[in-house]
């Protein structure tokens, strides 16, 4: 028998070609050009907001908090410019501290405010410390007002409704009551949460003879409320930089939590109503 040749055959592999210096530079140049065009596109899109901002607010100290506020100011102006035919307003609670209501007229000394939502109650046992004061002063200063309840998912819904009803007395010209739901339950299912929300809404509607509004974030709305609560009107919070117009099925849009309002220290939430002032007055209590 012939001996087998056990020598391994040597495989010759061609060395990988290294990218040329020219190709590297070409890629780098393309990336730089793309970034520059993107920046210029964004700057052009927000040109009116940037012009407004740098015309009036360039005297601020540029710390991180101020830089964040600058970005918000530019977007706020851009949003309000695109919705200049709609009524705008704010929402407040005890966190705004002492409000000089006779000065609450405009946002950034430029955009007139037409309405305010005021926090009244929290859960089944807590009153907002500034509700009574804010509620009376808003009326005295002829601002269309509305009251909202911060709902706690892990507490009895009817007790929460009872507290709100005892606290808030709606009058002619006031906005419908609002249920603010933002948290998910810790010790109950989503289905049980929905039952509790419906109990609150029904109890409050039976008392005031007007259908409440539901406030929540856009994702919460899409994931849990949009289908089963479709017969209610919604006030949606969305602060995303890319969004500049509200959806047709939203009644109110809370588009920022970082606005400057005359008469209030610190940041304030600002909202747009999906209609003009006359249409806003149409949905108030008769």
Catalytic residue list: 91, 182
Instruction: Give, as one character, the DSSP assignment of residue 270.
Output: E
List, in order, residues 6 or more apart from 268 with CB less than 8 Å away. Answer: 90, 92, 96, 107, 257, 259, 260, 261
Q: Closest Cα to residue 106, out of 248, 238, 245, 268?
A: 268
Matching residue, tokens 């919705």: 83
Cβ pair 119, 131 in contact under 8 A: yes
Using DSSP's 3-state secondary structure scheme, residue 68 falls into helix
Instruction: In whole angstroms, give the CA distance from residue 57 to residue 74.
Output: 11
């Amino acid at each position: 028998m012939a001996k087998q040749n056990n020598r391994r055959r040597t495989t010759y592999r061609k060395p990988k070609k290294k990218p040329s210096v020219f190709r590297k530079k070409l890629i780098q140049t393309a990336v730089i050009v793309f970034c520059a065009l993107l920046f210029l596109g964004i700057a052009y899109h927000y040109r009116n907001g940037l012009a407004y901002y740098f015309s009036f607010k360039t005297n601020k100290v540029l710390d991180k908090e101020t830089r964040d506020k600058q970005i918000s100011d530019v977007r706020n102006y851009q949003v309000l410019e695109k919705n200049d035919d709609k009524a705008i307003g704010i929402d407040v609670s005890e966190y705004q501290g002492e409000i000089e209501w006779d000065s609450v007229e405009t946002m950034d000394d430029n955009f007139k405010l037409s309405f305010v939502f005021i926090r009244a109650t929290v859960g089944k046992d807590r009153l907002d410390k500034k509700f009574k004061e804010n509620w009376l002063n808003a009326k005295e200063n002829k601002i269309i007002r509305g009251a909202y309840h911060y709902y706690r998912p892990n507490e009895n819904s009817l007790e929460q409704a009872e507290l709100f009803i005892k606290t808030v007395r709606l009058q002619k010209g006031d906005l419908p009551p609002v249920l603010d739901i933002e948290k998910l339950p810790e010790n109950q299912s989503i289905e049980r949460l929905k039952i509790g929300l419906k109990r609150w809404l029904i109890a409050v509607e039976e008392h005031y003879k007007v259908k409440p509004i539901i406030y929540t974030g856009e994702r919460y709305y899409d994931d849990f409320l949009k289908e089963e609560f479709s017969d209610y009107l919604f006030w949606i919070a969305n602060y995303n930089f890319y969004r500049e117009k509200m959806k047709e099925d939203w009644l109110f849009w809370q588009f920022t939590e970082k606005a400057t309002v005359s008469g209030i220290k610190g940041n304030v939430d600002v909202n747009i109503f999906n209609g003009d002032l006359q249409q806003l007055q149409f949905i108030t209590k008769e």
